[in-house]
Amino acid sequence: MSPTSDLLAHALAQTSFHPRLSQQRRLYEAAKDAIHQQQLGAGSKLPSSRDLARDLGIARNTVIAAFEQLAAEGYVTSAQGSGTYVADLQAHSASMRGTGVQPKGRTSARAAPRAALLSKRGQELTSYAAGPQFEIQPFAAGDPDFSTFPFKLWQRLQNRVWREARNDLLDYGQSGGHLPLRQAITEYLRISRSVKVEVEQVMITGGTQQSLDLCAQLLADAGDTAWVENPCYWGARRVFQARELKLRPITVDGDGMALNASDLATKPRLIYVTPSHQYPTGAVMSLARRRELLDVALRKDAWILEDDYDSEFRYTGRPLAALQGLDNDDRVLYMGTFSKVLYPGIKVGYLVVPPALIPAFRSALYDLQRPGQLTVQATLTDFITLGHFTAHVRKIRQTYGARRELLRRLLAQRLPQGVTISKEESGLHLVIELPDQVDDVALAQRAAAEEISVKALSTYYMKPPVRRGLLVGYAYCTPEQITDYGRQLGTIIAAEVQA
């Protein structure tokens, strides 16, 4: 056996290969590693395929295939009648460095790892890792109880869609989404939200984040100003920052977004609002403020982005009418989602655009985001049109309403003077307002140490005045959990406030 055959035989015996890796691939990897480690030096002649196959006890075709792969990647060179030789990788690297081209087959196995270099925008966007902070735990704000989702019913409807074997449901979808779903959403919004809408105006998106991103791309340029609520939904802020918009935080009070003279002196391109249930404070925008905002948008040629994220969860009286229903000048783009009322991972939302924007948004939705999941959209259509959606909403509204009252009663019994609980009869969370001297961030961290996931209200603000408080979700909690964790949270808050 030649020294080279002995070297490769030893490598094949010692190296830990995946059990399903082919013999040809194992030989290739062993030879490549030996070349990189300079165990096989430049110019070294390899045994003939016949001799190496005999020495290693493998098929000659396996050796030939491995040699061909090494040659294709520049590790070896072959000459007819002369044999196969190890290539001079160092000389090749030196010649390639002058051109700025990465040498073929070269790896960075021996180089020191280089830190990932992000753009300034990338650094800013990743500085706030939302995922771990919004992990579902007891009292996580904004999370629905998707364990109540009717799995078997949904599976039955989905199976029926698949049995139809419709080729059109396997495409991306070029017309803004599955037409029957858009029709069902149109009817639903007209009746339940007083939205002025025709089916052509409805676009099916991947949720609110995608709707906001589409609006930011099509309606604003980098450097344009976007008015946002202060405090503001963190997801909207991230989208606008990613599109390099200048954010101007507008104070929110008990009547919603409150514009002052300095605000009115600026010219926004986009105005982001949650008028029916402001996130996170829960304030409802008054009729006077709504009319004022519509007037300002018209005068300043701005677009209003109305995020109606949880309109289904109003526990007393009818759901509030949408701001879009008051718009006579086509300045409002209205968006909603099924993630709160069904389950987060469904990733189906809708965007209602003014008639003049239909062609542009339909084209961009297809070109930029390549929508799909038409089978899911078809299943959702049946879920709505057969009455299951209405029944599901009615059921979970009753469930969440009862949990809300239980949590409110438990906390009211334990919270000290100076601490108040929000009274809004809607949404998926309560706001516990704290005295100004209480550090709500530290308080949230103390709760997290006890596996209670509450959010500090102050972290949602972009500028003063900052209110102190905690966002306490109740949807994703059983009554037993609310009782246990509610008492525990009340004790934690009381101890901190009275300290």
- pLDDT (tens digit per residue) in 410-436: 999 999 989 999 887 888 999 999 999
Residue 314: band (very low, low, confident or very high) from pLDDT cuts 50, 70, 90: confident
Is the pLDDT at 257 greater than 60? The verdict is yes
| In CATH, 3-97 is 1.10.10.10 | yes
30-52 average pLDDT score = 87
Q: Between 141 and 163, where is the model more confident? A: 163
The answer for residues whose C-beta is within 8 angstroms of residue 341's C-beta and 6 or more apart is 144, 312, 313, 389, 392, 393, 396
150-157 average pLDDT score = 94
**Cα–Cα distance, 176 to 396 (Å, whole number):** 29
Residue 123: band (very low, low, confident or very high) from pLDDT cuts 50, 70, 90: confident
Ranges assigned E (strand) in 158-269: 202-205, 225-230, 246-253, 256-257
Quickly count helices (H) and strands (E) in the chain: 18, 15
C-alpha atoms less than 13 angstroms from C-alpha of 147 in its C-beta half-sphere: 8
Q: CATH 3.90.1150.10 in the chain, residues?
A: 391-497
Q: What pLDDT, in 10s, does the model give residues 202-222?
A: 999 999 999 999 999 999 999
In this predicted structure, what is the pLDDT of residue 128?
64
**Cα–Cα distance, 62 to 67 (Å, whole number):** 9
- pLDDT cut 70: percent of the chain above it: 92
Among left, alpha and beta (phi > 0; psi -120 to 50; other), residue 267 is beta
- pLDDT cut 90: percent of the chain above it: 57
Q: CATH 3.40.640.10 in the chain, residues?
A: 150-387
Is the pLDDT at 105 greater than 50? The verdict is no
In this predicted structure, what is the pLDDT of residue 98?
54
Element (H, E) at 3: helix 3-14
In this predicted structure, what is the pLDDT of residue 145?
83
**Residue (of 264, 234, 276) closest to 129 by Cα position:** 234
In this predicted structure, what is the pLDDT of residue 186?
97
Which CATH fold topology does 391-497 show? Answer: Aspartate Aminotransferase, domain 1 (3.90.1150)
The hierarchical CATH code for the domain 150-387 is: 3.40.640.10
- H-type alpha helices, 273-339: 287-299
In this predicted structure, what is the pLDDT of residue 21?
82
Q: Between 28 and 90, where is the model more confident? A: 28
Residue 409: band (very low, low, confident or very high) from pLDDT cuts 50, 70, 90: very high
Q: For residue 98, how far is the Cα from the chain centroid?
A: 42
Give the Cβ contact number of residue 133 at 10 Å.
14
Q: What pLDDT, in 10s, does the model give residues 453-491?
A: 999 999 999 988 789 999 999 988 899 999 999 999 999
Is the pLDDT at 94 greater than 60? The verdict is no
Is the pLDDT at 192 greater than 50? The verdict is yes
Mean pLDDT, all residues of the chain = 88
Is 467 exposed, middle or buried, given 0-12, 13-18 or 19+ CB atoms closer than 10 A? middle
Reduced to 3 states, what is the DSSP secondary structure of residue 85? strand
Q: Are 270 and 302 in contact (CB under 8 A)?
A: yes
**Cα–Cα distance, 413 to 168 (Å, whole number):** 57
Is the pLDDT at 89 greater than 80? The verdict is no
In this predicted structure, what is the pLDDT of residue 270?
98
Residue 11: band (very low, low, confident or very high) from pLDDT cuts 50, 70, 90: confident
User: Could you tell me the pTM of the whole model?
Assistant: 0.79
In this predicted structure, what is the pLDDT of residue 107?
45
Q: What secondary structure does DSSP assign to 45-74, as a single string?
A: EEPPHHHHHHHHTS-HHHHHHHHHHHHHTT
Alpha-carbon torsion, ordered 347, 277, 198, 291, to 10 deg: -150
In this predicted structure, what is the pLDDT of residue 136?
61
Q: For residue 279, how far is the Cα from the chain centroid?
A: 18
Q: 79-83, 258-262, 289-293, 492-496: which range is least confident on average?
A: 79-83
72-81 average pLDDT score = 82
Q: 5-19, 159-173, 243-257, 295-309: which range is least confident on average?
A: 5-19
Q: Which two tokens mark 399?
A: 């469930």
In this predicted structure, what is the pLDDT of residue 111?
52
Residue 244: band (very low, low, confident or very high) from pLDDT cuts 50, 70, 90: very high
